Amino acid sequence: MLGVVIRRIQAARVARTLGTLLRNGVGLVPSLAIVRGVVGSRLAVQIIDAATEKVRAGARLSSALAEGGLFPPQLVQLLRLGEETGRLGEMALRAAVIHEDQVQQSMQRLIALLVPVITIVMGLVVAGIVSSLLLAMLSLNDLAG
């Protein structure tokens, strides 16, 4: 589950940065060079570098990113749609919103799963402290008698 969340975070970062840059008039290849610095993993950097070279050669960005297999299919499909309609920046921003929402939902689910576990662990810690105090009190009684 954590791997999926990390992939979605990377997809959201890439889409947000790419969309913002494209909407503000930066070209696709320079935008990809900037996006390269935003992602945190070496694998993502390698995929973006390969995609940049393919885009320079005339390939579509969505196809180049799909070949890497790291980014979610939903991101690739939205980028493909943006390329076909000539609104790549807008579709990248829409993909960013979608992936950010998915990350938020996943984190809420993870927290909801962890609350009972944390409660049980805290209960065990408190029980351990109470039992050690009781054992200390009982050993004092044994010393007095």
- The model's pTM is 0.74
Give Cα separations from 145 to 48, 57, 133, 135, 140 (angstroms). 77, 91, 19, 16, 9
98-139 confidence digits (pLDDT tens): 999 999 999 999 899 899 999 999 999 999 999 999 888 888
Q: Could you count the other beta carbons within 10 Å of the beta carbon of residue 9? A: 18
Fold of 2-108: Receptor-associated Protein (1.20.81)
Produce one character per residue of 46-83: b if its CB has 16 or more CB atoms within 10 Å, e if not. Answer: ebbeebbebbeeeebbbebbbebebbbeebbebbbbbb
Domain boundaries, the chain: 2-108
Report whether pLDDT(145) > 60.
no
CA 109 to CA 21: how far, in whole Å? 32
**Between residues 137 and 24, the one the model is more confident about:** 24
Q: Could you count the other beta carbons within 10 Å of the beta carbon of residue 24? A: 9
DSSP state of 143: H
